[in-house]
Amino acid sequence: MNREENINQLKDSSKIWDIAVIGGGSSGLGVALDAISRGLSVILLEKADFAKGTSSRSTKLVHGGVRYLAQGDVMLVLEALKERGMLLKNAPHLAHDQPFIIPIYTWFDRIQYSVGLKLYDWMSGRLSLGKSEFISKKETIKRIPAVLQKGLMGGVVYHDGQFDDARLALDIAQTADEAGACILNYTKVSSLEKNESGKIIGLKVQDVLSGKKYPLQAKMVVNATGVFADKILQMDNPEAPKMIQPSQGIHLVMDLDFLGGTDALMIPKTRDGRVLFAVPWHGKLVVGTTDTLREKPRLEPEALQKEIDFVLETAGGYLTRKPTRSDVKAVFAGLRPLARPKEGSTKTKEISRSHKVIVSDSGLVTLTGGKWTTFRKMGEDTVDYFKQITGESPASSNSLDMKIHGFTENLLEGHWKIYGNDAKAIKAIAKEKAEWEEKLHPDFPNIAAEVIWAVRNEMAVKVEDVLSRRIRILILDAQAAIDTAPKVAQLMASELQKDEKWISQELVDFQKTAEKYLIKK
């Protein structure tokens, strides 16, 4: 995936793309993947880095959604379970089976969760990841040694998927790019172009790094900008009412020994009626989440103190050792798009997790809602509108069986696993220079060659791209990321031929961002 080559494709303003996608999160990438699977020409424009928004800030679950089953949304759960199963097949390097344990303290809970999760398991059919079952108190303590034992009756085990969200985004981007799509980060869509009948025929995009602007023609334009969807809708029609109310969810990252095993803990009903997860991930424990209304969409939302307190208190209620602020290695926040209340009402309603595709009078197609797990189906459902918008019939979707970049059945051990088939090539880079074999930080397995690889092949152009989304040190341990930044900046500067001034600016920018992931003790 080469940014310069793809920017060059923007220079041909006479080219008419079949589909132009705005937004490089899971939704936009799903559209690009499905479009290319049907032989359509597609360009994807992301104003920051791939998955910089909500798509790198999830709970990291590829799931049917036990919560949605409890709410009776059977169709949504069935759809998500199918997508979950296929993703684990198509990207075994990035998504795997994760057993979850619900600790049981009452008979009612034992019956309720045993029956509910049997149904969940049954619904996944031949794509099931493993049977759900009730386990004894002794077995529960063996598997989660740190679980609160007072009143514990046992646990219900069930299976869901777990993944690396930002890396999946990158690998989908690469899959689409390799199949012929033009995929670009740091390109911001600044306006939409219309013909005399008011129909969209293209857009203007700015290369954020060079400042250059390019006009671009497209038969169909897709707005896949998550919580920023209103901005594009208002670009299309300044009178368009606001549709979206962002709602924030935060996660705290701490040492794995707060659980003491490799199973995840699921708390099905918190004080505010939500679900709380504590999930082992890249050698740490990710705990969350919350649901707090925020006024404005932001690319770098910040956790509120009351959210941090809530997560610590709720998790602490189920663990023998209560985590405190000083145990938190990093905090990260993401925004989900809720439906804004209608004028005069105060109620917000979650846009059903089953996504929506909305077509404006201008032909702008907006994809909203949904979840990471269903990114591919969301893409397919959006590309299905191609005929309505253009009058041309596309081939049928072929994305369900598409292997994701890096796919291999011979996975390497340790942190190399997530690179899949690329791991060998990165190890070969490490052999080019002795210093590229060195670790970036003593507490993490990542080596310098991974930075070189990210610059050469994964469109990493800023220190944050590497430390937050190519390797995930920023969200695993914010202080460790700050300590690693100078080394990463040096390595990137040598590859990108940048000077000392660039390095200093990058370090200032990174420090400013990383401080938001540190917690005040």
Ligand X SMILES: Cc1cc2nc3c(=O)[nH]c(=O)nc-3n(C[C@H](O)[C@H](O)[C@H](O)COP(=O)(O)OP(=O)(O)OC[C@H]3O[C@@H](n4cnc5c(N)ncnc54)[C@H](O)[C@@H]3O)c2cc1C
Give min distance, CB of 371 to ligand X, in A.
3
Give min distance, CB of 286 to ligand X, in A.
10
Closest to ligand X by CB, 189 vs 478, is 189
Give min distance, CB of 208 to ligand X, in A.
9
DSSP H helices in 384-444: 386-390, 423-430
List, in order, residues 6 or more apart from 170 with CB less than 8 Å away: 50, 51, 458, 469, 470
Residue-level length of the chain: 521
Closest to ligand X by CB, 335 vs 471, is 335
Reference 389, options 6, 40, 25, 3; nearest CA is 40
Q: How far apart are CA 81 and CA 77, in angstroms?
A: 6
DSSP type of residue 56:
G
Closest to ligand X by CB, 59 vs 114, is 59
Give min distance, CB of 228 to ligand X, in A.
4
What residues line the site for ligand X (CB under 6 A)? 22-28, 45-48, 52-55, 57-61, 63, 188-189, 224-228, 249, 289, 299, 334-336, 370-373
Give min distance, CB of 519 to ligand X, in A.
17
Work out the number of other CB atoms within 10 angstroms of the CB of residue 12.
10
Q: How far apart are CA 24 and CA 51, in angstroms?
A: 6
Give min distance, CB of 353 to ligand X, in A.
8
Give min distance, CB of 136 to ligand X, in A.
29
Closest to ligand X by CB, 116 vs 334, is 334
Closest to ligand X by CB, 329 vs 353, is 353
Closest to ligand X by CB, 109 vs 207, is 207
Label each residue of 131-142 as H, E or C.
CCEEEEHHHHHH
User: What percent helix, strand, coil does the chain show, rounded to 5?
Assistant: 40, 25, 35
Amino acid at 436: W
**Tokens (6 digits) for 436:** 């590229």
Closest to ligand X by CB, 300 vs 384, is 300
**Which residues are bridge partners to 255 per DSSP?**
284
Closest to ligand X by CB, 380 vs 422, is 380
Q: How far apart are CA 458 and CA 172, in angstroms?
A: 11
Give min distance, CB of 425 to ligand X, in A.
27
Give min distance, CB of 2 to ligand X, in A.
19
Closest to ligand X by CB, 228 vs 444, is 228
Closest to ligand X by CB, 31 vs 429, is 31
Q: How many CA atoms lie within 13 A of 249 on its CB side?
A: 21
Distance of CA 5 to the CA centre of its chain: 26
**Which residues are bridge partners to 285 per DSSP?**
254, 280
Closest to ligand X by CB, 79 vs 422, is 79
DSSP helix/strand/coil, 432? coil
Q: Which residue has the tokens 């939302």?
A: 301
Closest to ligand X by CB, 53 vs 154, is 53
Q: Which residues of 152-168 are buried (b: 16+ CB within 10 A; e: fewer)?
A: bebbbbbbbbbbbbbbb
Reference 156, options 186, 98, 117; nearest CA is 117
Q: How far apart are CA 63 and CA 112, in angstroms?
A: 20
Give min distance, CB of 331 to ligand X, in A.
12
Give min distance, CB of 171 to ligand X, in A.
15
Give min distance, CB of 53 to ligand X, in A.
3
Q: Contact 221/208 with Cβ under 8 angstroms? A: no
Q: How far apart are CA 281 and CA 308, in angstroms?
A: 19
Based on the number of CB atoms within 10 Å of its own CB, is 316 exposed (0-12), middle (13-18) or buried (19 or more)? Answer: middle
**285 — phi, psi (to 5°)?**
-115, 125
